[in-house]
Amino acid sequence: MHLINYIFYVGYTYLSLSILLFVISRGFFDGITYGFRRFASRLARNKDLLDDWQEHQLPSERISSPFLKLISFQGITLTIVMIVLLFIYYL
């Protein structure tokens, strides 16, 4: 039964991470990040001329599609394995 618990925790950690990465990759936090960067550049006392806040990557640009697919696949696979093991355990 300890193996099933381990698979449960690892599988749902992967699924939670994949859902979070999916939301970030679709651009949900891009506007918030852009606004905070602009606000911070306006309030900065020591303005660094080399640090241009408009050229930094947004969060949605940092997440690659193959990585998101890999994490999702692993989470779904572990969940299916856990369900199969639970079915075998209770038979």
pLDDT digit string, tens, across residues 34-64? 888 888 777 777 666 556 767 788 888 888 8
The answer to whether 75 touches 14, Cβ cutoff 8 Å, is: yes
Confidence at residue 74, expressed as pLDDT on a 0 to 100 scale? 92
**Crossing angle, helix 65-89 and helix 2-25, to 10 degrees?**
150
Confidence at residue 40, expressed as pLDDT on a 0 to 100 scale? 79
Model confidence at 83: pLDDT above 80: yes
Quote the percentage of the chain above a pLDDT of 90.
35
- H helix intervals, 26-51: 30-43
Confidence at residue 38, expressed as pLDDT on a 0 to 100 scale? 82
Model confidence at 20: pLDDT above 90: yes
Distance of alpha carbon 10 from alpha carbon 81, whole angstroms: 12
Q: Given its phi and psi angles, is residue 38 left (phi above 0), alpha (psi -120 to 50 degrees) or beta?
A: alpha
